[in-house]
Structure 1
Amino acid sequence: MPSTHQPRIFNTVNLTDFDTNGQTSTVGEPTVSNNGNQILATGNWYASRSLDGGQSWSHMSPFTLFPPADGGFCCDQTTIYDPSRDLLIWLLQYIEQNGTNTLRVAVKQGRTLGNDNWNLWDFTPAGIDPSWNGEWFDYNHVSLSENYLYAGTNVFSASSNLFRRCVILRISLDELAAAAGLSFDIFETQHNFSLRCVQGASGSMYFASHNSNSQIRVFRWPENSPDVEEFDIDVTPWFAGSYSAPTVGGGDWMSRTDPRIMAGWLGRGALGFMWTANQQANRPNPFVRTVRIDEATMSLIDEPDIWNDQIAFSYPSTAVNRFGDVGLSIFAGGGNLHPSHVIGTYDDIDGVWRLSLARQGTHTPSLGKWGDYTNCAEIADDGFTWLAAGYTLQGGSTQSDIEPTMTWFSQQRYDAPRRHPPAIV
């Protein structure tokens, strides 16, 4: 019998200027992770922690919390929790200076977010490969497999800002937990831009990028191998170009949107990847292209896109729970809807996405800028719910009017946890 249930939202919390020290941006880049009732939320340009399941928050400045590097803290941050070794992991990007910059991996073990003691490892392009001297990192993300942390980043020339390569670092979780010397493996390509790793990987990590507007390249990196396999998958052709989704009053929030792959997952034997495509003949607004691929045969299963003839969708992020279900965090806006945060789940019964409005915005950014990403994370404590990070404008159209938001949700088929929720009271 077909399923008609929307996702079940348990609660949503909005961060105040006190929680973020007012260091917010319309290019908000929010991420969130939790270890029990301890929650770390990051974004442009703040970090905030809660030790009581989201009831109260305190600001942590990414500019001053850690020792200085390069030109100081820049922007991109990602946080993720590894339940297998009880590790809270935080990736931070520093400002390019003197032809280089730093990616810093900060790690703490156990429910110790209340103190400021972190183990730190710094990576620079030339420190990874001396031939990368004069290059810098930008646009980063992290993901996990059974035994490794993966950090993906683009690398650019400092003198010309031209793209040089995309890099995936594979780092041992055991070594991160031991807080000792750190070894790592490298995959790099100069042919594919902005690789995106999946969430939900186990014995192999998968990541992907576009070959063209009708083909993606999927990479498989087994944990027990230094070698990476490649698979080219044909998909239905789509368009990129200049994105636009005007809202009431004439504002536009998609001026910096681009088509790079922004979300990936592996669950129930299916790989999935998502990106923002531009309008086309039968779809009048930008929308999120979705492809699902059979892990065993590496062949296309289907393409359950997210689209609407009244509003646009962009900046998807996905996570997988322990049952292989897929949770989604995404932005929507256009027409009468100012950019708003939406959560969703993939309905594997009907083969469609089920969406719910998590937080509706009241304004569209005056500068037309939004993004560059959002975040969805599994709550490992219960194994079936997710925590989605987003943000909206409330009461105005400038960066001071941004309110980061976190929403705790599940598929409708699951009842709420019987115990007190581990996050978002």
Structure 2
Amino acid sequence: MPPGDFVFFRNIGLNDRATSLQTSQVGEPSLANNGRQIYMTGNWYATKSLDNGSSWQYVSPFTTLPSAAGGFCCDQLTHYDRSRDLLFWLLQYIRGSNNENIFRIAIKSGPTLQNNSWYWYNFSPSGVTSSWAGLWFDYPDMALSNNYLWVTFNVFNSSNLWQRAVVFKFPLDTLATGGSLNYSYWSTTNNGSLRLTQGAGNTMYWVSHNNASQVRLFSWPENSNNITFWNINVNTWSGGSYSAPGPDGRNWLGRADARITGAWVANNVIGAMWTANSRGSRPFPHIRVVRINEISKAVIDQPDLWSGSAAWAYPAACPNDRGHVGATMFYGGGSQYYPSHVVSLWDDYSNGWQSLFTRKSTNGPNNGRWGDYINCRRHFPDGLTWIASGFTLQGGTAASNVDPQYVHFGRSRDQPTVNRLSTI
């Protein structure tokens, strides 16, 4: 097989036993792996594999950990830090009687998914600062730099009106020991839905929209509490009501919006991706991409993913150890495609985006709902290939027909390394 062939090392649709039928068309699957151990979460479920995806065991996010605030629901994320051998599980809880909720960061050290023993930290708005009493967290993002775990949230009031967005900076050394946690945070009332860059080193970057022709890029060095930002002009895009009915006439983008859902930094390039609406010569919603020079903060190019016959939506991306970029997203609409899962590569073989379907849906959703986010992660321990989450509808239109997708992908040149490390 030529070394540049785009290959799937594992491409698995999870069955009902893996999720206990706790699936949703707003799937929001996240994933992480530590060798053969894989942890995957969705909007209502968690599941684990101890044998590289050959079998899966349902994990209840409702009962595995003690309840908090108003009980679990619904956003979750998971990530793995190889530098300290830590698995992170972020859970969001319902508002309690004081209108506040909490988010929890649960932690496992080493390849210990065979048990349900976790330690964790809880965070409430008023626990962060008393001036946030009565507010609640929603829509998380999570990323790693060399020495910190970073988490973002939007913050809302009791009337469900957006108030601010916040970035948390947690020291990995403390998280590794389970000790008393001193952390930093920063918030803004100007920019929401902050998207952290995957692949950060000594500086974390994040991105948000200023308007339909400008993004704001922020930076926070590990060794500083000074946050800097740059306003960067991009090609004008459109938002509004998104539509991409599939062969059954069902619109799977009824709740889509233009929040930035993918960002990365590698090889002195910062990238950002989001779902833009149809505009001009692009008749369907598509994925806007901007690549920015990390040094000069100038736009390098804007290599969008778009089609004249169907929509692209809900992208996420991350770099590998070479600085090449893997991505995960959905494609569907028009006369041929129900919403289907796709992974993409940008590397030394592709010179641009190269994409493959992982699995195609057999139906569109019965309620116009999809999203809100999916994840791409570096595969460990090789660091050269990627894992991605997605989902499809199989055999029907309801939430119970949602099959999450676990995909391990890359180039055939890395097959020997994947094979050698597959027993670890």
TM-score for both structures, normalised by structure 1: 0.96
Task: Tell me how far 1:46 sits from its aligned partner.
Answer: 0.5
CA distance in structure 2 between the partners assigned to 1:351 and 1:58 by the alignment: 39
CA distance in structure 2 between the partners assigned to 1:235 and 1:74 by the alignment: 36
Match of 1:106 in 2: 106
CA distance in structure 2 between the partners assigned to 1:414 and 1:266 by the alignment: 22
Q: Pick closer, same or farther for the CA change 1:358–1:298 going to 2, 3 Å.
A: same
* Contact 1:381 1:422 (C-alpha < 8 Å) held by counterparts: no
Task: Tell me how far 1:267 sits from its aligned partner.
Answer: 1.0
One-letter amino acid matched to 2:167:
I
Match of 1:341 in 2: 341
* Contact 1:7 1:344 (C-alpha < 8 Å) held by counterparts: no
| Structure 2 counterparts to residues 254-273 of structure 1, below 5 A | 254-273=253-272
- Is 2:198 the counterpart of 1:196? no
CA distance in structure 1 between the partners assigned to 2:178 and 2:329 by the alignment: 35
Task: Tell me how far 1:339 sits from its aligned partner.
Answer: 0.5
| Structure 2 counterparts to residues 71-110 of structure 1, below 5 A | 71-98=70-97, 99-110=99-110
Match of 1:42 in 2: 41
CA distance in structure 2 between the partners assigned to 1:341 and 1:350 by the alignment: 20
Give 5+ residue unaligned stretches, structure 1: none
> Could you tell which deviates more after superposition, 339-348 or 227-236?
339-348
CA distance in structure 1 between the partners assigned to 2:339 and 2:350 by the alignment: 28
Task: Tell me how far 1:350 sits from its aligned partner.
Answer: 5.7
Task: Tell me how far 1:417 sits from its aligned partner.
Answer: 2.7
Match of 1:69 in 2: 68
Task: Tell me how far 1:298 sits from its aligned partner.
Answer: 0.9
Give 5+ residue unaligned stretches, structure 2: none
Task: Tell me how far 1:351 sits from its aligned partner.
Answer: 3.9
* Contact 1:91 1:105 (C-alpha < 8 Å) held by counterparts: yes
Task: Tell me how far 1:383 sits from its aligned partner.
Answer: 1.4
| Structure 2 counterparts to residues 354-365 of structure 1, below 5 A | 354-365=354-365
Task: Tell me how far 1:180 sits from its aligned partner.
Answer: 0.9
One-letter amino acid matched to 2:102:
T
Match of 2:313 in 1: 314
Deviation per residue, 1:159-187 (Å, 9 max, x gap):
x1111000000000000001111111011
Report the aligned-residue RMSD.
1.6
Match of 1:115 in 2: 115
| Structure 2 counterparts to residues 6-405 of structure 1, below 5 A | 7-98=6-97, 99-158=99-158, 160-335=159-334, 336-348=336-348, 351-405=351-405
TM-score for both structures, normalised by structure 2: 0.97
**SS of equivalent residue, structure 2 residue 126:** helix
**SS of equivalent residue, structure 1 residue 419:** helix
CA distance in structure 1 between the partners assigned to 2:3 and 2:419 by the alignment: 27
**SS of equivalent residue, structure 1 residue 246:** coil
One-letter amino acid matched to 2:342:
V
Task: Tell me how far 1:412 sits from its aligned partner.
Answer: 5.3
Task: Tell me how far 1:310 sits from its aligned partner.
Answer: 0.7
Q: Pick closer, same or farther for the CA change 1:236–1:364 going to 2, 3 Å.
A: same
* Contact 2:248 2:363 (C-alpha < 8 Å) held by counterparts: no
* Contact 1:53 1:421 (C-alpha < 8 Å) held by counterparts: no
Identity of aligned residues (%): 46
**SS of equivalent residue, structure 2 residue 17:** helix
One-letter amino acid matched to 2:379:
I
Task: Tell me how far 1:157 sits from its aligned partner.
Answer: 0.4
Deviation per residue, 1:269-321 (Å, 9 max, x gap):
10000000000111000000000000011111000101011110111111111
Q: Pick closer, same or farther for the CA change 1:329–1:48 going to 2, 3 Å.
A: same
> Could you tell which deviates more after superposition, 199-208 or 374-383?
374-383
**SS of equivalent residue, structure 1 residue 262:** strand
**SS of equivalent residue, structure 1 residue 91:** strand
CA distance in structure 1 between the partners assigned to 2:274 and 2:362 by the alignment: 25
**SS of equivalent residue, structure 1 residue 400:** helix
CA distance in structure 2 between the partners assigned to 1:4 and 1:398 by the alignment: 41
CA distance in structure 2 between the partners assigned to 1:45 and 1:276 by the alignment: 24
* Contact 1:51 1:114 (C-alpha < 8 Å) held by counterparts: yes
One-letter amino acid matched to 1:354:
Q
Q: Pick closer, same or farther for the CA change 1:5–1:248 going to 2, 3 Å.
A: farther
**SS of equivalent residue, structure 2 residue 396:** coil
**SS of equivalent residue, structure 2 residue 131:** helix
Deviation per residue, 1:168-225 (Å, 9 max, x gap):
0000000000111111101100000111000000000000100010000000100000
One-letter amino acid matched to 1:46:
Y
**SS of equivalent residue, structure 1 residue 273:** strand
One-letter amino acid matched to 1:166:
A
CA distance in structure 1 between the partners assigned to 2:233 and 2:412 by the alignment: 33
Task: Tell me how far 1:347 sits from its aligned partner.
Answer: 3.6
* Contact 1:345 1:411 (C-alpha < 8 Å) held by counterparts: no
Q: Pick closer, same or farther for the CA change 1:111–1:332 going to 2, 3 Å.
A: same
| Structure 2 counterparts to residues 402-421 of structure 1, below 5 A | 402-411=402-411, 414-417=414-417, 419=419
Task: Tell me how far 1:4 sits from its aligned partner.
Answer: 12
Task: Tell me how far 1:419 sits from its aligned partner.
Answer: 2.4
